[in-house]
Amino acid sequence: MIPTRAQLRAEVLEELSAHNPATAMRYMRHWPAGRISLVHLNVIMLLEVEGAMPMRGLAEALDVSQASATGIVDRMEQRGLVERQRDDDDRRVVRVALTEEGRRLVEGMSTERREHMMQLLEELTDAELQAFLIGSRAMRRVREQRHADQATQPAGQHTPTEAPR
């Protein structure tokens, strides 16, 4: 029996959701730079994407008090992952930036992720690799289109959850 579109979507969703967060957490705790908390990882990723941020902006992005953000940055600074910089225009503003060590950690995580994915892909047959590539490209196309559509819509409006057929 040929599965319906709804059944196929449900099975694909189940496969994509089958990732075990506990396994990912154990894996993240063994980076070459040592254990890294989710909060520190979040700060590193924010700074990688946004660049240096004022302490107040970092606290807001993390949804913590400025005192908590200060403690987080203190610990990360002790590990050499971030540094505090005075703003050139307003010396009262303290900006937090990644250090070279922080950037190396990001690069190392990216390299490890690619190597891990390559090992997994080595286990697939040629036909499975081809099918996976087609599906992955289709998902990226739809995701990019969805993001483009959302960027052009007025605030408060959402793209429908199901595309027309």
C-alpha span between 80 and 100 (Å, rounded): 8
Kindly list the domain boundaries of the chain, sorted by start residue.
20-123
How would you write the chain as a 3-class SS string? CCCCHHHHHHHHHHHHHCCCHHHHHHHHCCCCCCCCCHHHHHHHHHHHHHCCEEHHHHHHHHCCCHHHHHHHHHHHHHCCCEEEEECCCCCCCEEEEECHHHHHHHHHHHHHHHHHHHHHHHCCCHHHHHHHHHHHHHHHHHHHHHHHHHHHCCCCCCCCCCCCC
pLDDT of 113 reads 84
pLDDT in tens, 7-42: 998 988 888 777 766 766 666 666 555 668 889 989
C-beta atoms surrounding 44 within 10 Å: 20
Entry pTM = 0.68
pLDDT of 38 reads 84
pLDDT in tens, 105-140: 889 888 888 998 999 999 999 999 999 999 999 999
pLDDT of 163 reads 47
What CATH code would you report for 20-123?
A: 1.10.10.10
pLDDT of 23 reads 66
